[in-house]
Amino acid sequence: MSYVKEVLDSVIARNPGEKEFHQAATEVLESLELVVEKNPQYRKNAILERITEPDRQIMFRVPWIDDNGVAHVNRGFRVQFNNAIGPYKGGLRLHPSVNLGIIKFLGFEQIFKNSLTGLPIGGGKGGSDFDPKGKSDREIFEFCRSFVTELYKYIGADVDVPAGDIGTGAREIGYMFGTYKKITGVYEGVLTGKGLTYGGSLARTEATGYGLVYLTEEMLKAHGTSLKGKTVAVSGSGNVAIYATQKATELGAKVVTMSDSTGWVYDPDGIDLAAVKEIKEVRRGRLSEYKNARPKAQYSTSGRVWQVAVDVALPCATQNELDLEGAKMLVKNKVKAVAEGANMPSTPEAVHYFQSNKVLFAPGKAANAGGVATSALEMSQNSQRLSWTFAEVDEKLKGIMKNIYHNIAAAANEFGMTDNFVVGANIAGFKKVADAMLAQGIQ
Ligand code: NDP
Ligand code: 2IT
């Protein structure tokens, strides 16, 4: 049996029921066959066994009291996966679907994504099955305070630096930062995505969406075209989706769809982003309200954004939201490129279908790395006690995304798999971490 197969079988047997983690581990490990064959020292030093086993996984009770005085208990998670190349780094997801398998898939992906940024950050992820929807500001504060009252023991500017993800934005990070500071008395860059008055980096809010579009543009340019004049389908309407839509529009594309967990909009004239921001960022409302601002748009609770004929698709909501059926609709309508803003939004069958139909496909660990890269830039600014301008950060982000594209394309070429950016991203991300692990001994 091959080394990869042996380790994968063991990962699946040792982590029963963690289906998203199995999916992520399978995708990464299967594309490393050639690399591990070429480097026998990886097997000898149990690199794959060690990289698939988190350094530690922390689970804890998060009790909080709602506005009616009723007590609730949620479960908190932090999985510190790998710190071979830097302190653990990765977001905190607050969503009722969160469980250990989901946090492990995200933490595992984060190892390779963070490596691809070229910056010194290891992989981690956390969150809770708390549902922030419909909660008052006081309830959100209560939850965040309770969460960090336990989490603070395990994090620190040189240890583990959490950030935002689904359900966690600047408000939650502010409450968590305040709690950490109150308990420890230490003012340090322990979280990223902070507000601009207390250590946050300019352009962090925009970074994931902008970075996604920078990488997409670079990939299209390398294939003789660009976003200008293209029609784009975006899914989601949160942080990543909003700033991807903004940058794609700035580069001359027309974004015609967005979605949330209850429905989606099709606006043939191009999404009115001011209306979406007002609904989502200001009022924390539902996308069904979009029609009030744009009567000609269609809002639908059945079907999906992938049925619209577009040149480029940017899935920016959540894992496994783009399945084979969605991929078939996109390919039938002659989609040219798909780039993942979310983490693992395409199912393995969808990815395979895109690749076998010659659609340019950029996986999340490369395409959405601009968020965590800019988080690392926030860490640098915090430790230097400096703040850079928006233009400086944006310029660095652009450079990082271009580099990622060229590195993953080169890694794919080296192994004779031109334009297979899935394999390219996995190999390029893996090698740096694996070599650091080798250099540091069996730990
Ligand atoms: P937000 O919470 O800001 O937005 C999430 C969006 O996706 C919302 O529109 C939400 O709809 C929708 N959504 C979430 N879960 C589901 C679900 N189960 N089914 C259908 N729709 C859903 O999160 P982000 O924009 O920050 O994150 C989006 C994706 O990008 C995630 O996969 C995240 O891991 C990834 N990512 C985020 C980064 C960041 O910097 N924020 C960096 C890199 C990746 P609704 O409002 O109805 O819940
Ligand atoms: O998935 C991700 O890369 C994020 N949610 C961002 C992590 C971070 O530390 O900025």
What average pLDDT score do residues 214-243 get?
98
CA atoms within 13 A on the CB side of 37: 9
From the candidates 89, 104, 125, 194, give the one annotated as an active-site residue.
125
Q: Which ligand is nearest to the CA of 167?
A: 1
Could you read off the pLDDT of 351-388 as tens digits, one per residue? 999 999 999 999 999 999 999 999 999 999 999 999 99
What average pLDDT score do residues 174-198 get?
98
Provide the pLDDT for residue 11.
98
In the structure, what pLDDT confidence band is assigned to residue 108 with cuts at 50, 70 and 90?
very high
Could you read off the pLDDT of 268-308 as tens digits, one per residue? 999 999 999 999 999 999 999 999 999 999 999 999 999 99
**230 included as an active-site residue:** no
**pTM here?**
0.98
- Kindly state the tokens that stand for 350: 């969808």
In the structure, what pLDDT confidence band is assigned to residue 79 with cuts at 50, 70 and 90?
very high
Q: Which ligand is nearest to the CA of 102?
A: 1
Could you read off the pLDDT of 157-175 as tens digits, one per residue? 999 999 999 999 999 999 9
- Kindly state the tokens that stand for 399: 């450079």
* Angle (CA) 161 260 400, round 5°: 40
Task: Give, using CA atoms, the residue closest to atom 39 of ligand 1.
Answer: 165
Provide the pLDDT for residue 97.
98
- In whole numbers, what is the pLDDT of the chain averaged over residues? 98
In the structure, what pLDDT confidence band is assigned to residue 262 with cuts at 50, 70 and 90?
very high
Helix axes 369-384, 204-221, angle to 10 degrees: 130
Task: Give, using CA atoms, the residue closest to atom 9 of ligand 2.
Answer: 90
Provide the pLDDT for residue 1.
84
Provide the pLDDT for residue 132.
97
Q: How far is CA 104 from CA 92, 113, 162, in A?
A: 12, 14, 15
Task: Give, using CA atoms, the residue closest to atom 40 of ligand 1.
Answer: 371
Question: Does ligand 1 lie within 6 Å of residue 4's CB atom?
Answer: no
Could you read off the pLDDT of 27-63 as tens digits, one per residue? 999 999 999 999 999 999 999 999 999 999 999 999 9
Atom of ligand 2 nearest to the CA of 114: 3
Question: Does ligand 1 lie within 6 Å of residue 315's CB atom?
Answer: no
CB contact burial 200-230 (16+ within 10 A = b; e otherwise): bbbbbbbbbbbbbbbbbbbbbeeeebebeeb
Spell out the alpha helix ranges (H) of 333-419. 348-356, 364-367, 369-384, 390-414
Query: Residue 165 C-alpha to ligand 2 middle, in angstroms?
Result: 6
Within 152-253, strands assigned E span 160-163, 231-235
Question: Does ligand 2 lie within 6 Å of residue 340's CB atom?
Answer: no
Q: Residue 428: pLDDT above 90?
A: yes
Question: Does ligand 1 lie within 6 Å of residue 317's CB atom?
Answer: yes
In the structure, what pLDDT confidence band is assigned to residue 77 with cuts at 50, 70 and 90?
very high
